[in-house]
Each structure stands twice: as structure tokens, then as C-alpha cells.
């Protein structure tokens, strides 16, 4: 007759301790109503968070981390908390945001003072055929990629994009071939590393040019996902409002300048004039260019209302000299004229 084994008393004690600990932790976590109230007041952090950061800053550590913001909280809450505690982090030490995130999360966090990140997203998404490109993310499991011979991202120079097509990698993943996941992971990691390089380059350019900047998120309906509206203020106090988008591969498209609808890529040097909407002004400006033997590649004129002010953009084959710009400014009906170089 077999004897029944007695339950392991050590296991019972351990399980009881774990249950008690879990119950205490649960009590310490604010319930949903607390967070809902915080969001209503736009105050998804407490003074205790700031005091904690002050205390940690006094420890004189090699670096400082912000954690607990990548486990399901809305991204708006994450941004508000970073903005709240960042001013109390030492300026001369690296700031680390744990478990974040998407490309837009990274850019938003860098704008708020974060220096580096860690995240499984590039590898995890790649294993499920979700890949990042400079035009946005794509899912290779979609049927439209079955015969797509183009690379994952035509503007990417990673080894995967140089040697393999979307259709081939899709086939590997659908067939559960390990190589498909490896190639996808390689591409996503390359994309993230290149993203960080471009962020560092942009920050270096801003510092070199003496630019002071800040970011705000706005809702731009039916706009390209990489659209930005830039408000510029010069040393003289003059302001300019520019709307444009990064359309992939290092290319941009400017679509609005101070309320004027434009189409500007930066591929050519350009002359921009703001002038009175009257007959003959375009001829006067283009005659100046012809006299100096400048060839016009593209031209666009935009006005806000008839007979008021208008903007003309002339994209040229050669960069403009200062003398030509000054002569265009001297045209009576032209309010201002300026040149921009090709990017």
C-alpha cells in the first residue's frame, strides 16, 4: 500500500510569504481612479517623484535612470513625468530611460533631456515581421509583399537591404525559417543605430549654429507621419513659420512657409521672394536672373488672396550670389528676397 507524500512545508511557507508580499505590493499601487484623476489634472506625477530624484541626484552617481514608464502607461504620461523630473537630474551625467521605445518615443525623450535607452522592440517586432523604415513601419506578413522585389527600405544601406528583398524575407518568415527572423532583426537594429546617429548629428548642428529649441506635440490631421511645424525666431526678432516633412532617405518636403502653400525639396539652391501680387513682378525678377545667366529648374508662386502678398520660389541650377539677391530685393514691389542653399 503506497503512502501519500506529505506536502513540503518549506514550499508552503515560501508560497505564503510570496502571497503576502504580492498583497502588500498590490496595496501600494494606486488604483485606476487615481491615475484617471491625475490625467484630468495633467499631473501624472507626484511631489514625491521629484523629491526622490533630488535625493538620488545627491548620491553623485555615474548616471541616472528613469524607469517604470514602459509597462502600459500612455505615452503622454511618460512624457509628462520625464519633463517633471528631468530638471532635477545632474546636467553632466548621462540620463537613461529604461525600456523605451518606438522611434517617436526616442525622439520625444531626447527632446526632454534623455541620453540613452534600451528596448527589446527592434528585435521583438522583427521576429513578427514588423520592420522599421524611414517612411514608417511595415508588416512583411501582408500579402502585398509576396512578389515585392524591393529592399525593406530603399533608403537603407544595411547589409540586409543591400542583398535581400521584401518578398524573400517574407517567404522565410512564413516558412518559419530562422534566417528570416535573423535578417529582420539585423535590419531593425541597424535602423535604430542609424536613428541615434542622426539624432546626435542634428544636436551637434544645432549647437554649432547656436540654435535653442524645444518640442511640442500637436495634432496635424491628414499629414505625413513625419511632419513638423517649425517656428523660427531670428536674432532680429523676425519670425518665420515653416511646415514640412521628412519623407525618407534623408529627403524633406517643405509645404508651407508663413501661410503660403509651397513645394520645396531642398534639392536645388533657391531664391524666395515675398512681393505684392501685381502684374510684371515675376518678369522683373526672372530678368535679373537671366542677366546673370542663372537657369531656373522649377518655379512656384503662391498667394493668400488676390492683389495682396505673394511668395515666389525659384529653384536654380547654381547657387545665387549676394549681388543677385540684393538686386532682387531692390525691385520696388518686392518686400524681401533671400537665397537658401541646396541640402
Quick one: CA torsion of 116, 121, 122, 128, rounded to 10 degrees?
A: 180
Cα angle 224, 228, 234 (rounded to 5 degrees) comes to: 155
Q: What is the mean pLDDT of residues 137-160?
A: 94
Of the chain, the percentage scoring pLDDT greater than 90 comes to: 43
Q: Is the pLDDT of residue 211 over 80?
A: yes
Looking at every residue in the chain, the average pLDDT score rounds to 85
Residues 6+ apart with CB under 8 A from 36: none
Residue 1: its pLDDT value, please? 39
Please give the domain boundaries of the chain with CATH numbers for all domains: 121-208 (no CATH), 227-340 (3.30.70.260)
Q: What is the mean pLDDT of residues 189-196?
A: 95
Residue 3: its pLDDT value, please? 42
Per residue in 220-279, pLDDT tens?
A: 877 877 788 989 888 888 888 999 988 766 678 888 888 888 888 888 999 999 999 999
DSSP helix/strand/coil, 321: coil
- Report whether 110 contacts 98 (CB < 8 A): no
How many residues are given for the chain?
Answer: 343
Specify the pairing of strand 95-98 against strand 64-66.
parallel
Residue 14: its pLDDT value, please? 58
Per residue in 276-305, pLDDT tens?
A: 999 999 999 999 999 999 999 999 998 888
In the beta sheet, which residues pair with residue 65?
A: 96
Residues 6+ apart with CB under 8 A from 98: 65, 66, 67, 68, 69, 70, 117, 118
Specify the pairing of strand 116-118 against strand 270-276.
unpaired
Helix axes 103-111, 178-208, angle to 10 degrees: 20
E strand map for 163-238: 227-233
- C-alpha span between 86 and 109 (Å, rounded): 10
pTM over 0.85: no
Amino acid at each position: 500500500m503506497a503512502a501519500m507524500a506529505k506536502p513540503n512545508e518549506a514550499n508552503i511557507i515560501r508560497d505564503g510569504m510570496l502571497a503576502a508580499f504580492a498583497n502588500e505590493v498590490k496595496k501600494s499601487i494606486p488604483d485606476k481612479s487615481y491615475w484617471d484623476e491625475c490625467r484630468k489634472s495633467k499631473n501624472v506625477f507626484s511631489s514625491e517623484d521629484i523629491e526622490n530624484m533630488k535625493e538620488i541626484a545627491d548620491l553623485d552617481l555615474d548616471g541616472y535612470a528613469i524607469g517604470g514608464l514602459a509597462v502600459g502607461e500612455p505615452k503622454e504620461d511618460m512624457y509628462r513625468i520625464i519633463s517633471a523630473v528631468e530638471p532635477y537630474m545632474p546636467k553632466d551625467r548621462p540620463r537613461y530611460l529604461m525600456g523605451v521605445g518606438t522611434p517617436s518615443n526616442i525622439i520625444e525623450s531626447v527632446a526632454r533631456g534623455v541620453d540613452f535607452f534600451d528596448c527589446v522592440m527592434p528585435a521583438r517586432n522583427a521576429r513578427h515581421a514588423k520592420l522599421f523604415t524611414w517612411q514608417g513601419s511595415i508588416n512583411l506578413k501582408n500579402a502585398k509583399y509576396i512578389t515585392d522585389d524591393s529592399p525593406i527600405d530603399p533608403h537603407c544601406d544595411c547589409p540586409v537591404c543591400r542583398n535581400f528583398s521584401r518578398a524573400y524575407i517574407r517567404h522565410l518568415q512564413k516558412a518559419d525559417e530562422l534566417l528570416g527572423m535573423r535578417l529582420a532583426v539585423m535590419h531593425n537594429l541597424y535602423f535604430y543605430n542609424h536613428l541615434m546617429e542622426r539624432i546626435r548629428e542634428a544636436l551637434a548642428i544645432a549647437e554649432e549654429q547656436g540654435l535653442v529649441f524645444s518640442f511640442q506635440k500637436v495634432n496635424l490631421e491628414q499629414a505625413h507621419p513625419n511632419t513638423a511645424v517649425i517656428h523660427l525666431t531670428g536674432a532680429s526678432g523676425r519670425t518665420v513659420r515653416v511646415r514640412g516633412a521628412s519623407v525618407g532617405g534623408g529627403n524633406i518636403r517643405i509645404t508651407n512657409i508663413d501661410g503660403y502653400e509651397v513645394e520645396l525639396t531642398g534639392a536645388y539652391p533657391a531664391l524666395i521672394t515675398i512681393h505684392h501680387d501685381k502684374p510684371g513682378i515675376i518678369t522683373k525678377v526672372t530678368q535679373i536672373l537671366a542677366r546673370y545667366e542663372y537657369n531656373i529648374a522649377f518655379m512656384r508662386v503662391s498667394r493668400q488672396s488676390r492683389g495682396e502678398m505673394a511668395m515666389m520660389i525659384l529653384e536654380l541650377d547654381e547657387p545665387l550670389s549676394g549681388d543677385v539677391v540684393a538686386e532682387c530685393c531692390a525691385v520696388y514691389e518686392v518686400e524681401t528676397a533671400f537665397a537658401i542653399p541646396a541640402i
